[in-house]
Amino acid sequence: MNTRLVLPFVCVALLLSACGKNETASAAASEPAAGAATANAADAKAGARVIEITANDQMKFSITTIEAKAGEELKVVLENIGNLPIEAMGHNWVLLKPGTDVASFAAAAAAARTNEYIPPALADKVVAHTKLLGPKKTDSITFTVPAAGEYPFICSFPGHFVMMKGTLTAK
Ligand code: ZN
């Protein structure tokens, strides 16, 4: 009686665990390797140069000047390393076209809270932007530098552009 009851259970258990183990093993063996290879291949193909920028509770970008070449592909990674909530100290990274009136853009941005402070009416002034980030959040944006010129970049959270601004110079 015992054997009859136990054996089927053991068989099923073995099957299940064997099946589970195989899937886990094959996933562990193949996925990271394939993923890494794909990522490397994509990076090599795209040639996107990674630029890491942090933003903090003191309203400062870690980088305020970026040198680039026209036509170069850049991947800007923004990390908010602060602790204050997004409503009080949100940060984004907004790259504007050369010649954009930054103060006017920032004023319009301040009124665009529901659009993460990217003013829809001035979307044509924006080359690239990240999401608005709360504390310990990261976002990245990959884009091609359109042409030679001096591109202002800011955080468009209300009031921040005075402190949080820089220039991407493309040659
Ligand atoms: Zn900010």
- pLDDT of 47: 83
Phi then psi dihedrals of residue 19, to 5 deg: -60, -50
Residue with tokens 């005075």: 162
Distance CA 56, CA 116 (A): 18
CB-based contact 81:136 (threshold 8 Å): yes
What pLDDT does 54 receive? 98
CA of 57 relative to ligand 1 center, distance in Å: 8
Distance 73 CA to ligand 1 centre (A): 24
Q: Tell me how far the alpha carbon of residue 109 lies from the centroid of ligand 1, in angstroms.
A: 12
| Whether the Cβ atoms of residue 81 and residue 55 lie closer than 8 Å to each other | yes
Q: Over 70: is that where the pLDDT of 149 sits? A: yes
For residues 119-147, give the mean pLDDT. 98
Report whether 93 contacts 80 (CB < 8 A). no
Contact 92, 131 (CB under 8 A): yes
Using the mean position of ligand 1's atoms as its centre, give its distance from the Cα of residue 113 in Å. Answer: 13
pTM above 0.95, yes or no: no
What is the β-pairing status of strands 73-80 and 49-55?
A: parallel
Lowest mean pLDDT among 3-17, 89-103, 120-134, 135-149: 3-17
How far apart, in whole angstroms, are the C-alpha atoms of residue 36 and residue 34? Answer: 5
